[in-house]
Chain A
C-alpha cells in the first residue's frame, strides 16, 4: 500500500524502499528445484557420510546399518593410526609439484600458439591430445611403456642408462608425478590461452610503439594479464590432482606401493577391500576438511571473485 502514496510526500527514501521491495519480491521459490536437487545430490550424502563416519559400519553390520553401533570419534582416531597423515602428505606434495611443473609448460605452449602461423590449428589440436584422453587410457599406456622390459627402459638402455623399476618402490612417486604432468598440462595451457586471447589489441600496439622487446613485453605487459586465470587454473588443477584416483589405481594397482598410497587410494582400499565403511568415511571426511582449510584461506587471499560483493562473502 505504501507504494501508492503520493510521490511528493516522501520522495528521498523512495529508491531505498523500491530496492527493498524488489529484494523482497524476488521469486526465490524458483530456486526450489535446484535447491532440492542440491540437497538430494550433495547435502544428504554428505550428512550420511558424516553419520557413517561416526558408526562402526562394516560387512558385519551392513545389513542392519541403522543399528550399527555408534562409536563417536573412534573412526577418526583410527584414521590417524592407519596411515592417513602419510597419504595426505603424499597427495598434497604430489599435487603441488604437478601443478608447479605444469604452469610453465602450459604458459609456454599458450604463447607458442598465440600468434598466427601455418599449422597453428594442428599444433593446438595436438596439444590437447593428452587432455582429451581418458585417464584410464593414459594410465594403461604408461603402465605398458614403463614395464621393466618396456619401451622406456629399452630406449634408456640404448644410451647406456639402466632404467630400473618405475612402478614399484620410491621411484613410483616420481612416475605418478611425471604421468600426471603429461596428462594435465593442457589444462593450464587452455586457461592461459583463453587469457591471452582476451588481451586487447591496443596493448600489443602500445608496447610496439614504446619499442618494448619481447622479453620486457612478456614479463611486464602480457604475464600480468595471465595472473588471475592462471591462478584459478592452479587451484583447480591442484584439486584435480589430489582427487585423481584412476591414474594411481591403474598405474600401480591395489594395494599400491607405499610411496604412492595417495588419499583416494587409501579410502578405496579401506572401503572396498577391507570393507570398513565407517573408517573410510571418516578418512574421506578428514581429507575433505584438510583440503578445505587451505583452499578457503587461499580463496580469501586471492579473491578470485571479480565483484566486490562476492569477494566480501
Chain B
C-alpha cells in the first residue's frame, strides 16, 4: 500500500455511500427461514481447521434454532476489520454482527453505528446476569449506554518456570512489582534471565504502563484530561525499561522481541518469568523445553516502589481483554442477530470455544466450571480482576502515544542506565498528543 493508495482507499470508503445507496437491503421477510445473518469475525491463524469446524457447527445449530443461515466473514488484521467497519458504517450496510477486540470497543462506540443494549435487548440474549460482571466493564461509557456484549476473555497473566524458581529458592511467584524485580535479579545468572519481555511489541508496552499506573491510582484518563505526566506513569516507564537498562534481568535481545518471540524464548526454559501472556499460549508452552515445568500466576497488583496498594489504587490484574460482539444499528436482522449472540454466549457454546481455542468464557457459569482447574485458576482470577481501559474514543490515540514512547526509547536501553530526562520529554510529548485527542472526543 502506498500513499496514493491510502488516499484512494479513504476516498473509496466514502464512495461506498453512493454505491450502497443503490444496493438492496439484507434479506428481508418474517421468520428465520430463507434469511442469512452476516457475522464478521477475526480469522484464527493458530487453529484454522478447528475454526472452520466451529463455524460449521455454529451454522448448523443456528439453522436448527432459527431456520436462518449464518455467513461468516473473517478479517486477517485489525486494519482489515477497521476498514470493514468504516465502509459498513458509511454505507449503512454490511455485517449484522461484529466481533471486535475490547480495546477497540470505545472506538466502535464513538461511530454510533451499533445497537445500544436496553433491558429488552439484554433479555433477548439471556440476560445481562449471565456474564462475568468484570467483562461488562468495557461494553459502553456507562450502564445506560452499552453496545458491547462480552463474548470471550483473554485476561493477561504471567507464566513462570517452576524449576528455575525452585532452584533460586523462591517458593512463590511475586505479587508486587518490586518483589518481581528482586526475584528476577536472583534468577539472572550466566545465560539464564529473570524476565522475558517483548519490548518491540506494538501493544505490550502500553499494557504495562497502564497497569502499573492504574494500580498506583492513576488510570491515565480523568474525564477529558490526560494524565500521562503523572509521577506514576514516569515510575511505570522507569520500571519497565529499568529491567533491561539498569537491572539487566532481561536478555538484551529482548529489545527486538514481539510477544510471540518472547514466548518462544521463555519456552526454551532459560527464563524465570514471561510477563503478559494468556491461555492461548498453552500449546506453545507445552511443546517447548519448558513442558510440564511452568505455571500461570497473577501479574503483580501492587505498583512499583510500594509494598501495598495506595488507597486510590485499583487491583488491576489485567486489562479487560478479549472480544465483544456488536450488533449493527443498520441491520435488518436484529432479532436474528440477538439469537446468534445468545447462541454463542450460552454456557455450552462458551465452554466448547474455550476447549477449541483457549479463549476464556465471558459467561459466568461457564467460567465457574473452569475454576476447579488448578492450572487455570490464576487466569480465571485475572478474568475477574480485569479492569477496563478508559472508555473514550481517544483511547486508540493514547495507546499509540504510550507505545511510541517505548519505540523511541528502545535504542537507549542498550547504552546502560536510563536517561530519565529524555524519557520525561517523550512522556510530555505523549501527553500532548493524548490531550489533543481527548479534546476532540465527542
A243 and B3 form a contact (CB under 8 A):
yes
1/0 contact trace for B88-104 toward A, CB 8 Å?
01100000000000000
Closest to B255 in A: A148
1/0 contact trace for A171-199 toward B, CB 8 Å?
10000000000000000000000000000
Given A59-B107, A59-B111, A59-B393, A281 contacting B400 (CB threshold 8 A): no
Q: Chain B residues near A263 (CB, 8 Å)?
A: 3
Q: Chain B residues near A168 (CB, 8 Å)?
A: 200, 255-256, 407, 410-411
Query: B182 within 8 Å of A by Cβ?
Result: no
Size of the chain A interface, CB-CB below 8 angstroms = 52
Number of A-B contacts (CB under 8 A): 144
Q: Chain B residues near A46 (CB, 8 Å)?
A: 7, 11
Query: B163 within 8 Å of A by Cβ?
Result: no
Tell me, in angstroms, the Cα distance from A274 to B110 when the chains sit together.
13
Query: B306 within 8 Å of A by Cβ?
Result: no
Closest Cβ of chain A: how far from B57's Cβ, in Å? 33
> In chain A, residues 120-148, which have Cβ atoms closer than 8 Å to a Cβ of chain B?
147-148
> In chain B, residues 220-262, which have Cβ atoms closer than 8 Å to a Cβ of chain A?
251-253, 255-256
Among the 9-residue stretches B12-20, B153-161, B317-325, B371-379, the one with 4 or more Cβ atoms under 8 Å from chain A is B12-20
1/0 contact trace for A272-285 toward B, CB 8 Å?
11110100110011
Query: A54 within 8 Å of B by Cβ?
Result: no
Q: Chain A residues near B59 (CB, 8 Å)?
A: none
1/0 contact trace for A49-93 toward B, CB 8 Å?
100100000111011011000000000000000000000000000
Query: B45 within 8 Å of A by Cβ?
Result: no
Tell me, in angstroms, the Cα distance from A280 to B12 when the chains sit together.
14
A253 and B200 form a contact (CB under 8 A):
yes
A62 and B89 form a contact (CB under 8 A):
yes
Q: Chain B residues near A271 (CB, 8 Å)?
A: 6, 10
Tell me, in angstroms, the Cα distance from A235 to B418 when the chains sit together.
44
Q: Chain B residues near A242 (CB, 8 Å)?
A: 3
Query: A305 within 8 Å of B by Cβ?
Result: no
Contacting residue for A288 out of B7, B251, B414, CB 8 A: B7
Query: B282 within 8 Å of A by Cβ?
Result: no
Closest to A269 in B: B400
Closest Cβ of chain A: how far from B224's Cβ, in Å? 14
Closest to A45 in B: B11
> In chain B, residues 399-442, which have Cβ atoms closer than 8 Å to a Cβ of chain A?
400, 403-404, 407-408, 410-412, 414, 437, 440-442
Q: Chain B residues near A284 (CB, 8 Å)?
A: 3-4, 6-7, 10
B4 and A288 form a contact (CB under 8 A):
yes
Closest Cβ of chain B: how far from A110's Cβ, in Å? 27
Tell me, in angstroms, the Cα distance from A155 to B411 when the chains sit together.
21
Contacting residue for B414 out of A149, A165, A243, CB 8 A: A165
Closest Cβ of chain B: how far from A161's Cβ, in Å? 15
Q: Chain A residues near B26 (CB, 8 Å)?
A: none
Given A63-B113, A169-B410, A255-B403, A268 contacting B11 (CB threshold 8 A): no
Contacting residue for A48 out of B11, B256, B400, CB 8 A: B11
Q: Chain A residues near B440 (CB, 8 Å)?
A: 58, 60
B79 and A272 form a contact (CB under 8 A):
yes
Size of the chain B interface, CB-CB below 8 angstroms = 49
Q: Chain B residues near A256 (CB, 8 Å)?
A: 407
Query: A254 within 8 Å of B by Cβ?
Result: yes
Given A167-B200, A274-B396, A147 contacting B6 (CB threshold 8 A): no
Given A60-B393, A148-B255, A170 contacting B411 (CB threshold 8 A): yes
A65 and B17 form a contact (CB under 8 A):
yes
Tell me, in angstroms, the Cα distance from A170 to B414 when the chains sit together.
14
Q: Chain A residues near B408 (CB, 8 Å)?
A: 257-258
Tell me, in angstroms, the Cα distance from A168 to B413 when the chains sit together.
11
Query: A287 within 8 Å of B by Cβ?
Result: yes
> In chain B, residues 361-393, which have Cβ atoms closer than 8 Å to a Cβ of chain A?
393
Closest Cβ of chain B: how far from A166's Cβ, in Å? 9
Query: B178 within 8 Å of A by Cβ?
Result: no
A59 and B410 form a contact (CB under 8 A):
no
Interface centre among A59, A149, A245, A284 (most CB of B within 10 A): A59
Tell me, in angstroms, the Cα distance from A150 to B255 when the chains sit together.
12
Tell me, in angstroms, the Cα distance from A53 to B408 when the chains sit together.
29
Given A62-B89, A167-B256, A253-B200, A277 contacting B10 (CB threshold 8 A): yes
Closest Cβ of chain A: how far from B252's Cβ, in Å? 6
Tell me, in angstroms, the Cα distance from A264 to B107 when the chains sit together.
23
Interface centre among B7, B14, B400 (most CB of A within 10 A): B7
Q: Chain B residues near A287 (CB, 8 Å)?
A: 3
B393 and A273 form a contact (CB under 8 A):
no
A246 and B1 form a contact (CB under 8 A):
yes
A165 and B411 form a contact (CB under 8 A):
yes
Q: Chain A residues near B397 (CB, 8 Å)?
A: 273-275
Query: A113 within 8 Å of B by Cβ?
Result: no
Closest to B253 in A: A149
A274 and B411 form a contact (CB under 8 A):
no
Query: A244 within 8 Å of B by Cβ?
Result: yes
Query: A156 within 8 Å of B by Cβ?
Result: no
Which 4 A-B residue pairs are closest in the complex by CB-CB distance?
A: A169-B411, A243-B2, A45-B11, A149-B253
Q: Could you list 25 examples of A-B contacts with CB < 8 Å?
A: A48-B15, A52-B11, A58-B440, A59-B110, A60-B111, A62-B89, A63-B111, A65-B14, A148-B256, A165-B411, A167-B200, A168-B410, A243-B4, A246-B1, A253-B200, A256-B407, A258-B408, A271-B10, A272-B79, A272-B83, A274-B437, A275-B397, A280-B10, A288-B3, A288-B7
Q: Which residues of B contact A (CB under 8 A)?
A: 1-8, 10-15, 17, 79, 82-83, 86, 89-90, 107, 110-113, 200, 202, 251-253, 255-256, 393, 396-397, 400, 403-404, 407-408, 410-412, 414, 437, 440-442
